[in-house]
Structure 1
Amino acid sequence: MLQIGVVVVSYNPDLNVLRNNLRTLKTHENVDCLIVDNGSQNSHELKKVGIDLQVDVLLLKKNFGIAYAQNRGFEFFKDREVDWVLTLDQDSLIPSNLVDVYTNSVQLSFPDSAILTCSYVDDEWTEIQKRAMMQADKVVQKKYVISSGNLIRVSAWEKVGGFDEFLFIDLVDFDFDAKLFLAGYKIWETNEVILHHSVGKTLNKPIMQKLLLLPEDAILADHSPMRQYYIYRNSIIFEKRYTMISKRRFVVLHTFFATRRVFAYRQKLRKLIAAWRGVIDGALYRAGRDAEFQQKLIKLRH
């Protein structure tokens, strides 16, 4: 039977949601779970959850970001010779048959498969937004997928140098996916199961969307000022890094224009300043001078 490691990254999590997910996962004999906590205020309660449910817990001293936490989780399971690791966010609700669907998927037998994931929805989305995310085929090949719900081949994670800790949080998943693509791996998504996942505080403001010239199925997801910074900085960094995949032009200008979404959120001024700081730092980034990233590119091509 395929042995699966599960890495749940937490930061001030809802312990009830976390317990329910862990209980669902623990019903499978082939699953071992690890919580990697990014310096939560409720870390003592989190440790108790681990003891009660017989789940390993790694407590980090502060918030090092999702990439750092995921890398520590993968190292944990690599040392235990686990071949596949499932990554989960603390605010995702997993269906009871997720592990069974994954382990029975023929895609896992393909040598070039790096990720098997599933469709996801946010319960706060409108029906139009939900339909836009759904696919007709049972299994499709994807280029980019969010990290929660991903069953990842550990050897592929190692091949591409893991998750980029410089990015901290936003676009960490897409950056990882792009490296997999360049290394010749494939990503598969099944719609046999659907993950319920929160992408932030989703706002339903159709009039505001029209005023901001956003399409009807656009998703307005409010985040903290810190997240606004990383969203816009990393969006530019991603496009600069992967010009061989993405052919977008005028990236900085397009990203600056995208910050108009902030006018739909609370604390507009603070978040707009953070978003613009992100745009500036992204504009100053030079992929050619990023020695660590360039080394990873060289490794991917050999």
Structure 2
Amino acid sequence: MLRLKENSGIASALNAGIELARTKPVEYIITVDQDSLLTAEYVRRLVDAADSAAAAGITPGLVSPARIHGNPVKTAGSKSGVPLGREPIQSGLLIPVSTLDTIGNFWDGLFIDLVDTEYYFRALDAGLPTVLADAEFDHSLGTLVDANIWGKDINFQDRALKVRIAASWRYYYIFRNRILVGRRYIKVHPGWVAGGLFLDLRHLLFVTVLAPGRAARLKSAFKGTIDGIRGRSGRAHTS
């Protein structure tokens, strides 16, 4: 077990774990968050998908499950009969060591948020697509809270309307890293950069209208935007 001396972010933690794992001969690394639950056959299914892709002439950069908590992940068509995916989430991700050798470790300056997305595009641009496996696992994505406007709960079809939010401090990294990663990939993937920014802004508008904690969330997003424009990375600056 490896325990870091300080919180240096998910990317740094992943990199430290990867380096420790690679002190022994390994072919694959799998990354898992503390709030994820894998099935007994999960890892075997991802390895089998990697092997099947290689047999079809496709070198997988990453291997992702096709479903998370019952929901299908984003797809990117197929090649030679091999199903391909778009930006995977970091948890439950199988990374061939050959991918690490080719494109390096995670961008630790991002700290948290878009760490997996940036790695996906780096692999993709190196000709290493994400392969989808016929597998699924459970994972928590954000927190559901009751929608509320001016102190009044909102109901929809006789039920309390729920809104999925992240912790207020996360919006700093969401918006800062959207700018940092966007700068890196806008020339090659301008559609993704524009689309991602639009979705983040739409989400922020939605939760500002419907979810409590508006002031803290907006302040965090604003500070992240300013730091992103300034090119700041790493852990959030306190001044």
Query: Is residue 200 from structure 1 mapped to residue 200 from structure 2 by the alignment?
Result: no
Matching residue within 96, 104, 108 for 1:153:
96
Aligned with 1:267 (options 194, 197, 213):
213
| Residue of 44, 51, 59 corresponding to 1:112 | 59
Structure number with greater CO (CA < 8 Å, separation at least 6) is 2
- Give CA deviations for 1:222-268 in whole Å, capped at 9, x if unaligned: 22222111011111222221011233459878755652134233322
| 1:162 alignment partner, one of 66, 84, 105 | 105
- 1:176-209 deviation line (CA, Å, top 9, x unaligned): 011101111111112x2211111111347599xx
Report the TM-score, using the length of structure 1 for normalisation.
0.61
Change in Cα spacing, 1:155 to 1:253, as seen in structure 2 (3 Å) is closer
Cα distance in 2 for residues equivalent to 1:157 and 1:255: 29
Higher helix share: 1
Equivalent residue for 1:80? 24
Query: Structure 1 residues 91 and 159 mapped into 2: Cα distance closer, same or farther (>3 Å)?
Result: same
The answer to whether the 8 Å contact 2:74/2:85 transfers is no
* Alpha-carbon distance change, 119 to 80 in structure 1, aligned in 2, over 3 angstroms: same
Q: Which residue of 1 aligns with 2:68?
A: 121
1:69 counterpart residue number: 13
| TM-score, with structure 2 as normaliser | 0.76
Residues 18-97 of structure 1: pairs in structure 2 closer than 5 A: 57-97=1-41
What code does the residue aligned with 2:43 have? V
Judging changes above 3 Å, is the alpha-carbon distance between structure 1 residues 148 and 185 closer, same or farther for their aligned structure 2 residues? same
- C-alpha distance 67-203 of structure 1, shift in aligned 2 (>3 A): same
* C-alpha RMSD over aligned residues: 3.3
Give me the whole-angstrom Cα distance separating, in 1, the residues matched to 2:26 and 2:120: 21
Tell me how far 1:167 sits from its aligned partner: 0.3
Structure 1: gaps spanning 5 or more residues: 1-56, 124-129, 212-218, 291-302
**One-letter code aligned to 1:114:** G
Shift of residue 221 of structure 1?
3.1
Runs (5+) with no aligned partner, structure 2? 155-161, 234-239
SS in 2 for 1:79: coil
**Helix, strand or coil at the partner of 1:179:** helix
Between the aligned residues of both structures, percent identity stands at 28
Q: Runs (4+) of structure 1 moved beyond 6 Å? A: 134-138, 250-254
For the structure 1 residues 108 and 261, does the alpha-carbon distance in structure 2 shift closer, same or farther, using more than 3 Å as the test? farther
- Equivalent position SS for 1:148: coil
Q: Secondary structure at the match of 2:61?
A: strand
1:233 is matched with 176
Flag the 1:250–1:175 CA change in 2: closer, same or farther, 3 A: closer
Instruction: State the shift of 1:89 in Å.
Output: 0.9
Contact 1:108/1:116 (<8 A) preserved: no
From 161, 184, 191, the counterpart of 2:127: 184
The more displaced of 226-235 and 243-252 is 243-252
